[in-house]
């Protein structure tokens, strides 16, 4: 969440920043009104609380002086003031919770250098690879769901039979390819990032910390009986590993990576192309995550984008990097770069990575701070996260890009160590 002190100190600046994201200035005014009411309620409660303390002290003094009548009178006043203090505390806590809820729904302030815009059409293409776009053969213009069915790699019908639509089932070499991609990425990041295997079912507080709740509840899978949530990304548990803790600055940056299944309801996908692996409810993804100081964050953001790009180059996939505009970045992010691969069989650019710098927005929700090396009050860390990479769409792009005229599929040599040396999926017999 944003720092409420920013609203108190310069509300116009907050309105201007959030206005770049399309936030109504009235929402900021409402937050300011709630904050003023909460501070007034807390002040009134604290005044009565101070009165209770004074009366309690006076009761003791009167009893020690032997003035029983005075002591009883003061005790009655103290009890009445105590009852009032408890009532006012309930009012103050409710007012503070209103402020907290309003903050939970407001997005992060965008970075000054994030491009302005209202939606995905305003995103800026920062760069593309390769410099000259490849020429794709007719054999590569077959959609992956047809290739998958023909070669026994992908069975969407049986996946739907087991779990409903948009739950893919991979078979044979298709399943091996998916596994190989995860191992390939985790090994590629092992030089700097500690591998973690977190739970994929998490508490409500864990989802709140990243900003996925309460605003995006409809996009998540909720196990109501146990009040657990299926993670939409490993960013969720990784963000909360140090929730409520204070780190030492010397520990930063703290870099983590995890390969997990991810679950998204895609409630807003109506009318979009959901064939094959273009949009699914369950997919595997390797996530990069870091806690950092504010000064470390910009270089980390560049490094994480570069890592995702390096994987795509090793896989030989045409890609582009988008600098997301203020109207398209996620709720928790201040700056985001998306990586999209071109998938020739469906003739579409597919998002396969999103790398974001969330400043201290998530850390405030999760209460994660660090002690500065020079001393002083602990301050909130900055968090960064990025996919490197999400595999369903990479899988699709690989089988389409690698398809040969005879119907076989040639996979990149970078995956050979993870496929027992086999980089050709034979044509159907």
CATH topology for the 120-425 domain: BirA Bifunctional Protein; domain 2 (3.30.930)
408 burial type by CB count under 10 A (0-12 exposed, 13-18 middle, 19+ buried): middle
Range(s) for CATH 1.10.287.40 in the chain? 4-105
4-105 in CATH: which number?
1.10.287.40
Q: Which tokens sit at 380?
A: 């909130």
User: Any idea which residue has 């896989």 for tokens?
Assistant: 315
Tokens of 66: 């032997």
Exposure on the CB side of residue 133, measured as CA atoms within 13 A: 12
Give me the long-range contacts of 3-11 (CB less than 8 A, separation at least 24): 3/360, 3/364, 4/31, 4/35, 4/99, 4/103, 6/109, 7/31, 7/32, 7/35, 8/32, 8/35
Cβ atoms of 273 and 279 within 8 Å: the answer is yes
**pTM exceeding 0.75:** yes
356-373 pLDDT per residue, tens: 999 999 999 999 999 999
* pLDDT band at 13; cut points 50, 70, 90: very high
- Strand partners for 322: 125, 338
In which band, very low, low, confident or very high, does the pLDDT at 267 lie, cut at 50, 70 and 90?
confident
Residue 60 is given by DSSP the state: H
Domain with CATH 3.30.930.10 in the chain: 120-425
Q: How far is CA 190 from the centre of its chain?
A: 22
Rounded average pLDDT over 317-331: 98
Query: 């999209």: which residue's tokens?
Result: 340
Q: Is 109 helix (H, G, I), strand (E, B) or coil?
A: coil
- C-alpha neighbours within 13 Å on the C-beta side of residue 43: 6
Q: How confident is the model at residue 111 (pLDDT cuts 50, 70, 90)?
A: very high
Q: What is the pLDDT of residues 32-68, one digit of tens each?
A: 999 999 999 999 999 999 999 999 999 999 999 999 9
Q: Which residues contact 239 (CB under 8 A, 6 or more apart)?
A: 206, 209, 210, 289, 362, 366, 383, 385
More confident residue, 372 or 268: 372
pLDDT digits (tens, 9 = 90+) for 70-84: 999 999 999 999 999
For the chain, how big is the Rg over CA atoms in Å?
A: 27
Kindly tell me the sign of the dihedral angle through the C-alpha atoms of 227, 233, 237, 243.
negative
- pLDDT tens, position by position, 228-248: 999 999 999 999 999 999 999
State the pLDDT at residue 268. 63
- Residue 133: the pLDDT is 95
194-227: string of b/e by CB count within 10 Å (b at 16+)?
eebebebebbeebbbbbbbbeebeebbebeeeee
């Amino acid at each position: 969440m944003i720092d409420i002190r920013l609203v108190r100190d310069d509300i116009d600046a907050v309105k201007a920043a959030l206005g770049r994201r399309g936030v109504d200035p009235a929402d900021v005014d409402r937050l300011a009104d709630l904050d003023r009411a909460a501070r007034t309620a807390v002040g009134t409660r604290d005044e009565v609380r101070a009165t209770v303390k004074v009366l309690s002290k006076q009761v003791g003094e009167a009893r020690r002086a032997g003035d029983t009548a005075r002591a009883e009178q003061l005790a009655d006043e103290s009890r009445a003031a105590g009852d009032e203090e408890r009532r006012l505390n309930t009012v103050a806590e409710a007012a503070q919770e209103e402020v907290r809820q309003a903050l939970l729904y407001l997005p992060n302030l965008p970075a000054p250098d994030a491009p302005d815009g209202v939606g995905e059409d305003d995103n800026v293409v920062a760069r593309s690879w390769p410099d000259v776009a490849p020429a794709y053969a007719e054999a590569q213009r077959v959609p992956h769901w047809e290739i998958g069915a023909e070669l026994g790699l992908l069975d969407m019908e049986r996946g739907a039979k087991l779990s409903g639509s948009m739950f893919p089932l991979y078979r044979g070499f298709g399943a091996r390819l998916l596994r190989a991609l995860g191992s390939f990425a985790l090994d590629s990041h092992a030089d700097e990032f500690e591998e973690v295997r977190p739970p994929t079912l998490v508490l409500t507080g864990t989802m709140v910390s990243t900003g996925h709740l309460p605003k995006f509840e409809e996009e998540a899978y909720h196990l109501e009986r146990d009040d657990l949530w299926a993670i939409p990304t490993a960013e969720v548990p990784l963000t909360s590993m140090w929730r409520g803790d204070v780190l030492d600055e010397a520990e930063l940056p703290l870099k983590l990576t995890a390969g997990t299944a991810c679950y998204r309801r895609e409630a807003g996908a109506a009318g979009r192309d959901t064939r094959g692996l273009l949009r699914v409810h369950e997919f595997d993804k390797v996530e990069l995550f870091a806690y950092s100081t504010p000064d470390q964050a910009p270089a980390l953001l560049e490094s994480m984008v570069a890592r995702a790009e390096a994987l795509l180059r090793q896989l030989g996939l045409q890609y582009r990097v988008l600098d997301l505009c203020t109207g398209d970045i996620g709720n928790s992010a201040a700056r985001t770069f998306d990586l999209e691969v071109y998938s020739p069989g469906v003739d579409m650019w597919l998002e396969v990575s999103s790398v974001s710098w969330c400043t201290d927005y998530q850390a405030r929700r999760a209460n994660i701070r660090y002690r500065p090396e020079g001393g002083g009050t602990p301050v909130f860390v900055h968090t960064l996260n990025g996919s490197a990479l999400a595999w369903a769409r990479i899988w699709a792009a690989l089988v389409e890009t690698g398809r040969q005229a005879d119907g076989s599929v040639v996979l990149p040599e970078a995956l050979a160590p993870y496929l027992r040396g086999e980089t050709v999926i034979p044509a159907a017999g």
